[in-house]
Structure 1
Amino acid sequence: MSSDTITQSEAARRAGVSRTTIQKHLASGRIIADGSRVNLVSFNEWLETRDDAQQGVQPDVQPPLHPRVQPAPTVAPEPAQDANCASTQNNQPQLMPFNVARTLEQNAKARLKQLEFDERSKEVVEVALVAAAIGKEYAAVRRKLLALPAEHAPSIHRCKTVADVQERLRVLITRALEELTADGGSTLPKGV
């Protein structure tokens, strides 16, 4: 089996057509056959020149899921002075090749599907849910710590030195934080 050929089924999958369509193009000579297999070079040439290409079809080589996209330049380049560059002189926008656009679209769809899967499997959680849960946790800590002076003012008042006050406060704050930790009533979503 040669690496320069692919099966008719694989060619049909890559082109987004039926196997019968590939066989018709083989019979007409638009695609070259190598026995019952499809010549990869002629297939790729045919694939690039076809008018009826379908959207959302797998490319012949899987691109990486997270391509590094360069940001667009903020300053427009100077128009070329060469007469061969008429499209830039006429301020015509440069179009993206179809295969590149199709690959970018497929990558975006793949990233969305991965995100949906991660959300269902609780690998990722909405930021708003996490922020709300953390806000509730902070509110509980705040309430507990702000209640300390009112609850323990008499015992702190009995302290004789600054060191005694500091030690008493350290013990009370530590105990309050340990109680909050021991509550086990975390309001954080699962997986956080």
Structure 2
Amino acid sequence: MSNDTITQSEAARRAGCSRTTIQKHLASGRIIADGSRVNLISFNEWLETRDDVQHGVQPDVQPPLHPRVQPAPTGAPAPEQVAHIVSSQGEQSQLLSFNAARTLEQNAKARLKQLEFDERSKEVVEVALVAATIGKEYAAVRRKLLALPAEHSPSIHRCKTVADVQERLRVLITRALEELTADGGSTLPKGV
């Protein structure tokens, strides 16, 4: 099964007509047949030129699948850029139908509204905010651990064996980390 063809039933569903109508256009050559299947490119071209479509009665045509196009790096894209999607090979472009372009626009607006809602409800947060907050947490841990030798060197000096020094350091580090945890908990934003 080729990705460039669809069944006659699927073509009829997309066009909002009967399978007999599709077969009639295949026989007349307006749509190109690929065996018993319908060539997708010729079908889309035929859909664009149809004048017997009853708008509001027949379903919108689903746009063909294309790879995602990266947004223009600066400013708003030119109208020509909005109307064309370049294939992954970069060799051919296909003009989007009005319905396909409208669907793409509505999907983009819906994704933006969903992101705004998620930001307001604290479901997502900015990466920079999380990185700054975690940086502050790590700095507090670092300061606390680096202060241990200066504060506790007399008690460490009194240790007789390496095992005593190791045990004393383990106790001091554990106590310092517990104090950091008890100092009001995390300063991470809500939801992180």
**Higher RCO, 1 vs 2 (CA within 8 Å, ≥6 residues apart):** 1
Instruction: For residues 6-60 of structure 1, give each alpha carbon's deviation from its aligned partner in whole angstroms, at most 9, with x where no partner exists.
Output: xxxxxxxxxxxxxxxxxxxxxxxxxxxxxxxxxxxxxx92229xxxxxxxxxx85
Matched, 1:175 2:175: yes
Matched, 1:135 2:143: no
Q: 1:158 to 1:120 in 2, by over 3 A?
A: same
The DSSP-based 3-state class of the residue aligned with 1:94 is strand
Partner of residue 149, structure 1: 149
Q: CA RMSD in A?
A: 3.0
In the TM superposition, 1:13-162 aligns within 5 A as 45-47=53-55, 69=67, 75-77=89-91, 93-162=93-162
The DSSP-based 3-state class of the residue aligned with 2:123 is coil
Distance 2:169 2:96 in 1: 67
Give the CA deviation at 1:94. Answer: 2.4
Q: 1:68 to 1:94 in 2, by over 3 A?
A: closer
User: Aligned partner of 1:102: which letter?
Assistant: R
Partner of residue 10, structure 1: none
Among all aligned residue pairs of Structure 1 and Structure 2, give the percentage whose two residues are the same amino acid: 81
- Please give the TM-score of this superposition, normalised by the length of structure 2: 0.55
Q: 1:136 to 1:68 in 2, by over 3 A?
A: farther
User: Aligned partner of 1:135: which letter?
Assistant: G
Distance 2:96 2:147 in 1: 64
- What are the ranges of 5 or more consecutive residues in structure 2 without an aligned counterpart? 1-51, 70-85
- Please give the TM-score of this superposition, normalised by the length of structure 1: 0.55
User: Aligned partner of 2:179: which letter?
Assistant: E
Give the CA deviation at 1:105. Answer: 1.1
User: Aligned partner of 1:47: which letter?
Assistant: H
The DSSP-based 3-state class of the residue aligned with 2:95 is coil
CA contact (8 A) 2:137 2:187 kept: yes
Distance 2:66 2:180 in 1: 45
Give the CA deviation at 1:104. Answer: 1.3
Instruction: For residues 83-118 of structure 1, give each alpha carbon's deviation from its aligned partner in whole angstroms, at most 9, with x where no partner exists.
Output: xxxxx6xxxx42122222211111111010011111
Instruction: For residues 122-176 of structure 1, give each alpha carbon's deviation from its aligned partner in whole angstroms, at most 9, with x where no partner exists.
Output: 1111111111111111110000000001001111111111111111111111100
CA contact (8 A) 2:156 2:168 kept: yes
Q: 1:182 to 1:61 in 2, by over 3 A?
A: farther
Distance 1:94 1:60 in 2: 18
- What are the ranges of 5 or more consecutive residues in structure 1 without an aligned counterpart? 1-43, 49-58, 78-87
Partner of residue 164, structure 2: 164
